[in-house]
Chain A
Amino acid sequence: MSIRNHYFPRTSAGKKATLIFLILMLLVQPPIVFWVDENLRNIWISGTPFLYSYLATVYFVQIGVLIWALWKKV
């Protein structure tokens, strides 16, 4: 049996899940998260600061990606 590199997903669903998860992770890391804080600080969503809602939304979408990967049997 030939053993290929395991760092890169091979299935289509695996590639999609990995790519989306990593992009979402970038959205909650510097410098983007600091840009969001700096420029959208005065916006409030549903009574909470934009940064709080923004981070929460990305986190829950990331969890959604993990659940989607589970559903697709990645």
Chain B
Amino acid sequence: MGSLEKGVTLETWVVATGLIFAYIAFTIVIGFVANRALAVDMEDFLLYGRKAGFVVLYLSVVATYHSAFAFLGSSGFFYTHGIGFWQAGTWTVLVGAITYTLGVRIWALGKKFSYMTPADMLADFYESEAVRIVVALVSVFFTILYIQVQAQGLGYIISVASGDRISFEFGTFILLVVASGYLMAGGLRAVYWTDVIQGIWMYVAVWVGGLVLSYRLFGGPLNLWKEVRIARPDLLSLPGPEGFFTPGMWMGMTIALSFGIILQPHIMIRYYTAASGKTIKWLGATTPIFLLTLYIPTALVGLGGAVALPGLSNPDQIFPELLFRFAPAWLTGLILAGATAAAMSTLDSILHANMTVLTRDIYQRYFFPKRTASHYLWAGRGIVMVLVLVGYILSVKTFNVLVTLVALSGSGALQLLPAILGVCYPVRKPFTKAGVLLGMSVGFCTLYWALVISPHPFGVHAAMWSLGTNVMTCMITSRFTKPSSASTIKRIHGTLEEYIYGSGESSLEEIN
């Protein structure tokens, strides 16, 4: 961070840090306002009362989907690997299609059978407590690591913005406390309301930053492309300067970063919260616009940065490095506050999802099944405090095993795919609980092999290997093992048949 520190003038750090703290104060106010609207009710606290409208849900989903990586990491990817990262469009568009087709089914089942977590739905269909426990643990295990990633991102941003006057550890601590504070105060309502601000802020900030830098450094985006063509033509072809974007990586990233992220609980639970199936379909058709276009300015930053500021030891620093050197103080502050928003909107959602899964699938199910809603609300708040403590320790301490676990986490939730498709897409011979459990086990073992022992064998992304073996195992095992009872399959698949091809949303109102 040496060169960065030299570039930080008094005015810049004061403005940048001031804007970040102004933003933080604003989120705290929103948390308190949300608290006043909160009803003592599990669905209200955990699922926004299943009343999220299009605008709120849209901004919450996109803000949650795009984390600190979209701000800092994607520019770094363009900086290092070139135009190949525009491949991001394949998974962002696929996210829309998955939401449109799969998301609406998850919403319909959630509404009809009052599911609150992914494990609720899967345990019900596969008639298995083992499936519930495995899915709950997988959901928590593979996302709790993201708390560490986002918290570290937040600590880094605030440390950079203040020119190291605020330590990384203290910055991480402040932002974890703020995010957990408004979550505990207002539940998912507070998360959604802050996400609305965060989604708008991050989008405006990254576009303004990308355009201002491209005009200041090159006289505009078109001149920037010209300069890249002259100075770094290797960045404008595949597989990129370091040979990263092989065909296998290209396809693997498309699958891992679409299905793999959507199946994580903090995104999947959002489907349950929609006010209607139509809201989910609107979401599916339009979220790729936001998700995709965010990478246009980060391409300008990354590719332009490779020409203007080559040789950075940490490419993820390219955006803040350029800002501190070439942008006015107010803009630097605005954009770093936007980066804070991107990280916080993902962090609060992961905290919320883990709280929901642990409260609903473990605490309520196995320890204290018949308590009041108020009891579970307070239990959830207690769980958040524990998660924050764990997240903070993971963030400021370095454990070698964590590096491995974080690498695994990206494709971890992807292993739920066969089980979820088995519930949401009726077929003549559905998957069985033995099939999905064995499939997941084989998938995780393959993931460990293809990511840790022998990374991306034959240039094919680990996600493809693990998902392939998972699906094959699940299909073969399901042919020879006992399926769920006919009544359960008929109840759940019948609901989907009636909802998708029958009387639509009116078919869901009868039970509720």
Contacts and interface: CB of A to CB of B under 8 A. Distances in A.
Nearest to B248: A30
Interface in B214-246: 221-222, 225-226, 229, 236-238
A51 B238 contact: yes
Interface string B246-277: 01001100100000000000000000000000
B494 A1 contact: yes
B247 A31 contact: yes
A1 B83 contact: no
Given A3-B497, A29-B254, A62 B93 contact: yes
A45 B208 CA distance: 24
A63 B93 contact: yes
B238 A37 contact: yes
Which one of B236, B292, B497 has the highest number of Cβ atoms from chain A below 10 Å of its Cβ? B236
A5 B426 contact: yes
Contacts of A38: 238
Interface in B66-104: 83, 86-87, 89-90, 92-94, 96-97, 100
Interface string B417-435: 0000000111110000000
Contacts of A1: 494, 497-498, 502
Interface residues of B, number: 46
A67 to B, nearest CB: 5
Contacts, number: 108
A71 to B, nearest CB: 9
Nearest to A63: B288
A8 to B, nearest CB: 10
A63 B95 CA distance: 11
A3 B490 contact: yes
B97 A66 contact: yes
Interface centre among B97, B251, B497 (most CB of A within 10 A): B97
Contact of B250 (A30, A41, A49): A30
B284 A66 contact: yes
Contacts of B502: 1
A59 B502 CA distance: 32
Contacts of A31: 247
20 contacts: A3-B490, A3-B494, A5-B426, A6-B426, A6-B500, A7-B427, A25-B90, A25-B93, A31-B247, A33-B238, A41-B236, A47-B226, A49-B225, A51-B238, A52-B299, A55-B89, A56-B86, A62-B93, A66-B286, A66-B288
Query: When A and B form their complex, which 9 residue pairs have the shortest distance between CB atoms, in order from nearest?
Result: A30-B247, A47-B222, A59-B89, A66-B285, A70-B285, A37-B238, A6-B425, A62-B93, A3-B497
Given A25-B94, A63-B285, 18 more contacts: A1-B497, A3-B490, A6-B496, A7-B425, A21-B97, A25-B93, A29-B251, A31-B247, A34-B247, A41-B236, A47-B225, A47-B226, A49-B236, A51-B83, A59-B89, A59-B288, A62-B97, A66-B288
